[in-house]
Chain A
Amino acid sequence: MALKKQKFVYDFEKPVVELENKISEMKEYALSTGVELTDDIKRLERKAKQLRKEIYSNLTRWDRVKLARHPERPYSLDYIERMCSYFEELHGDRKFADDKAIVAGLAQIDDYSVVIVGQQKGRDTKAKLHRNFGMPNPEGYRKALRIMQLAEKFNKPIITLIDTPGAYPGIGAEERGQAEAIARNLFEMSHFTVPIINVVIGEGASGGALGIGVGDRILMMDNGWYSVISPEGCAAILWRDSGHAPDAAEAMKVAANDLKNLNIVDEIIQEPEGGAHQDADKAAEIVKKTIIKHLNELLKIPVEQRIEKRIEKFSKMGAWKEK
């Protein structure tokens, strides 16, 4: 099992990570001393695999939220660099600034030239600050729009990678029209003639996520979460205590399975065993394969029909009864 040693471990991962660490210790010991441990190691590896399966099939929604925020989870650029044979990042909204919380650019995935837009988080403290924790300002949404309009002009499909704890709630963001920037993207994305595929790779918090989340297909990784507000935000308002976030995550039904059942998500992308952070290469390979499958399907649909289907898809969303 080619598992990298995990630095960051959640409580629910502990039993299996401990077991895996023990296995690698045994391997090292066997190698250095020549003691025959192959059978024991194999037995333990089977056990670890089984344990991992059990743990991951019984995760609560809050566990999924934590996995979506796992500090070693692959971010947009990790996927882009693995999926694309070519990527040239384009910067700036040509109006105000270049928002580092959103990356966008020209890309090649297999035989397809596409435009990719994604929210970007940072790994270490410095990078986190640089990326504003993946929380875009209005100029981020406007950069995304500018580059999606390039895609529209030159007939390139649009791939968006969603991973944000929310649009940034700051004074400047309000002054520069955070709400207008998001609304404008929803408005424009609904009518682009090129195919659009949205992939929730991690966190999908509210309008900040949806601001690059309108498309023909919505795909979601099985350890992502996506909802109208973060579990903490919901808990702070409805329970008056953000400590109730796990309850809010349950109540709002934020997991990929929930969204599939509610007919929001078209397909759940299965992550490598134990989550995308266990094997970024494999995760990117699976995401790429799924994107290409949907791209192939979408390109076969005539343009006008595709737009109508997209609007119809969103028109059906929601639940109501008519007396």
Chain B
Amino acid sequence: MDWFKRKKNSLQPAQKKDMPDGLWIKCDSCAEIIYRKELEKKYYVCPKCDHHFRIGYETYIDILCDEGSFKEFNKNLLSDDPLEFKDSKRYSEKYKATVKKTGLNEAVITGSATVDKQPVIMAIMDFRFLGGSMGSVVGEKISRAADKALELKQPLIILSSSGGARMHEGILSLMQLAKTSAKLARLARHNVPYISILTNPTTGGTTASYAMLGDVHIAEPGALIGFAGPRVIKQTIGQDLPPGFQRSEFVLDHGFIDFIAHRHELKRRLSHVIQFFLHQNEAS
């Protein structure tokens, strides 16, 4: 269980921006006041109610990958603002400001790593970067990760945390759904395992493409998972939504994810699934 103990200094400064500052943190769910160090040690899971706080990619690397094994690739892919999009401000400026604020280059980080010594290709989305939205760069990085998994015949793991496709790149964002799905179809044809991990939230175009195309779908507890956002649905049908609607447990009940894994169990269960797929039966 040494993966459970985190290094105190492994938190990057960017992480702090998403979490409230201070020594004490109030749980979003049960309002319990938690000592920050305690929460860190628990990978941001509330010790009282098991609420899973939203976390950044670097914490997931700590949780899932063997220490020091993650090697990022395609880090320098940047959006080109193909539409010269502008609402109240320019997309290109918003993008630059987001890069500066978060210290991230895009809403997904891809690389190679090992999980309990098993080599894998990993893509981890990060909600801090424009709501984890999928534009051209996210689509391209995921596609290249799938190509890499195929080339090396190593399992692909995509951890989603995304509000959906990025509006600022219009039709080009939409086409990333088709592109990533085509790459995953190719991977599937070569029997390379692909495991999709769904965290809070996974909605819109992300769900309508790679997040729902895994050989195995693993969700964190209580994550919002769906196609349309709850507000849109509520507005369309003009009535309240049932309790727990579009949460992991609801989606599991309706048959679209394979199992829910507590964050503290995520690596162990993921690792076993990978091991299972790679194991070759031989006559004794």
- The chain A residues found within 8 Å of chain B, CB to CB, are 167-171, 173-180, 182-184, 186-188, 190-191, 206-207, 210-211, 213-214, 226-229, 233-234, 237-239, 247-248, 251-254, 258-259, 262, 264, 310-311, 314-315, 317-323
Contacts and interface: CB of A to CB of B under 8 A. Distances in A.
A319 B136 contact: yes
A238 B85 CA distance: 11
22 contacts: A167-B228, A169-B236, A171-B237, A171-B241, A182-B209, A186-B209, A207-B208, A210-B178, A228-B171, A229-B167, A252-B85, A262-B82, A314-B175, A317-B172, A317-B175, A318-B139, A318-B169, A318-B172, A318-B179, A319-B136, A320-B140, A321-B78
A158 B18 CA distance: 47
B57 interface: no
A200 B182 CA distance: 21
A191 to B, nearest CB: 5
Given A169-B227, A174-B233, A254 B254 contact: no
B68 interface: no
A119 to B, nearest CB: 16
A169 B79 CA distance: 30
A248 B83 CA distance: 12
B211 interface: yes
A248 B233 CA distance: 21
B226 interface: yes
Interface stretch (B2-10, B25-33, B118-126, B184-192): B184-192
A227 B174 contact: yes
Interface in B56-85: 76-83, 85
Contacts of B88: 238-239
A214 B208 contact: no
Interface of B: 76-83, 85-88, 135-137, 139-140, 143, 165-167, 169-179, 181-186, 188-189, 204-205, 207-213, 226-228, 232-233, 236-237, 241-242, 245-246, 254-256
Contacts of B173: 228
Contact of B182 (A190, A207, A211): A190
Contacts of B165: 206-207, 228-229
Contact of A254 (B143, B170, B175): B170
Nearest to A214: B178
Contact of A239 (B87, B228, B232, B242): B87
B182 A179 contact: no
B228 A174 contact: yes
A180 B185 contact: no
Given A183-B207, A186-B209, A252 B233 contact: no
Given A171-B245, A183-B207, A323-B78, A254 B171 contact: yes
Contacts of B211: 179, 183
Contacts of B207: 179-180, 183
Contacts of B228: 167, 169-170, 173-174, 178
A214 B242 CA distance: 34
A182 B170 contact: no
Contacts of A211: 208
Contacts of A258: 170-171
B236 A170 contact: yes
A19 B80 CA distance: 46
Nearest to B83: A253
Given A169-B227, A214-B181, A311-B182, 18 more contacts: A168-B236, A170-B237, A175-B254, A177-B254, A182-B208, A186-B178, A190-B186, A210-B174, A228-B165, A228-B170, A247-B87, A248-B87, A314-B178, A317-B175, A318-B82, A318-B175, A320-B77, A321-B79
